[in-house]
């Protein structure tokens, strides 16, 4: 068991599972401690308590050790001192060796601002930072790191399926999720993969 501490940050419930759910499941299987920080409850897309419940259920299925909510306003998350200070608290509390967060190359302003805020909050930390893609990531997203999730992809799908309140959203279509994972997998010669940009890589030697 490697025992690394891993932090995944998402702007809304379901972002983390969509962007790096397979990779996080692999961390859990290895024995790493995985934590979630979810910036908003996504109340613009459904009842906030229902969305909180879905996030908690999905995290339990994933095997996450702890889930924390910043309770920031959906669609109005800012990259400012307030957001960075909230993230600072959990960065200091968890002391993650690896952080996963949105790529700032994204059409959704919440995704962009939480990505920038995580980078600001990690300014004094020795953490490797990987930037994941979501359905709103722009064509400027240029991955350089790939994670083979072939053996855990079904588990990723089961976690995403917990978000029943979002079933009517195009980005939740199973065919699209499978298609992206296949495309990323083809790059590295495996069945399914997740792709990441790298903001910072620490201790690779």
Domains of the chain, residue spans: 5-200
- pLDDT confidence bin for 204, thresholds 50/70/90: confident
Token pair for 79:
């990259």
For a pLDDT cut of 90, what percent of the chain falls above it? 95
Which residues have a Cβ under 8 Å from the Cβ of 50 and sit 6 or more positions away?
165
Cα 38 from Cα 190, distance rounded (Å) = 30
Q: pLDDT digits over 49-75, tens only? A: 999 999 999 999 999 999 999 999 999
In CATH terms, the fold of domain 5-200 is Rossmann fold (3.40.50)
Nearest Cα residue to 8 out of 80, 90, 76: 90
User: Please, where are the H alpha helices in the chain?
Assistant: 15-30, 48-62, 81-94, 109-121, 153-161, 174-188
pTM score > 0.95 for this model? Answer: yes
């Amino acid at each position: 068991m490697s025992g690394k501490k891993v932090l995944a940050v998402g702007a809304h419930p379901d972002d983390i599972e969509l962007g790096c759910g397979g990779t996080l499941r692999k961390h859990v299987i290895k024995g790493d401690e995985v934590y979630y920080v979810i910036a908003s409850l996504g109340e613009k897309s459904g009842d906030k308590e229902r969305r909180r419940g879905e996030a908690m259920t999905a995290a339990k299925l994933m095997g996450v050790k702890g889930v924390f909510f910043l309770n920031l306003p959906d669609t109005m998350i800012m990259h400012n001192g307030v957001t960075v200070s909230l993230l600072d608290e959990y960065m200091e509390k968890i002391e993650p060796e690896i952080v996963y967060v949105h790529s700032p190359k994204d059409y959704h302003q919440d995704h962009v601002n939480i990505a920038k805020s995580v980078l600001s909050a990690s300014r004094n930390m020795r953490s490797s930072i990987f930037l994941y893609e979501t359905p709103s990531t722009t064509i400027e997203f240029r991955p350089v790191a790939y994670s083979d999730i072939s053996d855990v992809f079904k588990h990723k799908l089961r976690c995403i399926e917990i978000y029943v309140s979002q079933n009517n959203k195009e980005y939740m279509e199973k065919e699209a999720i499978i298609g992206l994972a296949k495309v990323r997998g083809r790059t590295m010669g495996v069945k399914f993969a997740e792709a990441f940009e790298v903001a910072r890589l620490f201790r690779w030697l």
